[in-house]
A and B are shown apart, each in its own frame.
Chain A
Amino acid sequence: MLLSIDWILFLEKLILIAIVIFASLGIALYTTFAERKVAAVLQDRPGPNRAGPFGLFQPFADGLKLIMKEEIIPNTSNKVLFILGPFLAMTAALMTSAVIPWSSDVHLFGRVIPLQIADVNIGILYIFAVVSLGVYGIMIGGWASNNKFSLMAALRGASQAISYELAMGLSLIALLMTTGTLQLGEIVKQQMQPGHWWNIVYQPLGFLIFIICAFAECNRTPFDLPEAENELNFGYHQEYSSMKLGFYSFSEYVNMFISSVVMATLYFGGYDVPFLNESLLSPNVAAIVGVIALLIKVVIFIFIFMWVRWTIPRFRYDQLMNLGWKSLVPLALANMLITGALILWLGK
Chain B
Amino acid sequence: MNVIQILFWFLSALALVSALMVLLSKNPVHSVLWLVGVFFAISGHYILLNAQFIAIVNLIVYAGAIMVLFLFVIMLMNLNKDTEPQKNIWMKLAGAISAGCFLMILVSLIKQAPELQAKTAMMKEGDIGLIGNLGKALFSTYVVPFEISSILFLSAMVGAVVIGKKD
Contact = CB atoms under 8 A, between A and B. Distances in A.
Interface string B62-100: 011100100110011000000000000000000000000
Contacts, number: 67
Contacts of B2: 3-4
A120 B75 contact: no
B76 A133 contact: no
Contacts of B131: 121-122, 125, 182
B56 A126 contact: yes
B8 interface: no
B18 interface: no
B72 A125 contact: no
Nearest to B59: A129
A137 to B, nearest CB: 12
A24 to B, nearest CB: 22
A129 B64 contact: yes
Given A122-B53, A125-B56, A132-B60, A139 B65 contact: no
A121 B52 contact: yes
B1 interface: yes
Q: How large is the interface on B (under 10, 10 to 19, 20 to 34, 35 or more residues)?
A: 20 to 34
Contacts of A159: 72
A50 to B, nearest CB: 43
A162 B68 CA distance: 9
Contacts of A3: 2-3
B64 A155 contact: no
Q: How large is the interface on A (under 10, 10 to 19, 20 to 34, 35 or more residues)?
A: 20 to 34
B3 A125 contact: no
A122 B65 contact: no
Contacts of A129: 56, 59-60, 63-64
Given A132-B64, A133-B59, A143 B52 contact: no
B35 interface: no
Nearest to B27: A78
B33 interface: yes
Given A3-B2, A129-B56, A162-B65, A136 B29 contact: no
A161 to B, nearest CB: 9
Interface string A59-96: 00000000000000000001001000000000000000
B12 to A, nearest CB: 19
B137 interface: no
Contacts of B3: 3-5
A133 B33 CA distance: 12
A172 interface: no
A170 interface: no
A128 interface: yes
Contacts of B63: 129, 132-133
Interface of B: 1-3, 27, 29-30, 33, 36, 52-53, 56-57, 59-60, 63-65, 68, 71-72, 75-76, 130-131
Interface of A: 2-5, 78, 81, 120-122, 125-126, 128-129, 132-133, 135-136, 139-140, 143, 151, 154-155, 158-159, 162, 182
18 contacts: A4-B2, A78-B27, A81-B33, A121-B52, A125-B56, A125-B57, A125-B131, A126-B56, A129-B56, A129-B64, A132-B59, A132-B65, A135-B64, A143-B29, A155-B72, A158-B68, A158-B71, A162-B65
Given A132-B59, A132-B63, A162-B65, 5 more contacts: A2-B1, A5-B3, A126-B56, A133-B64, A140-B29
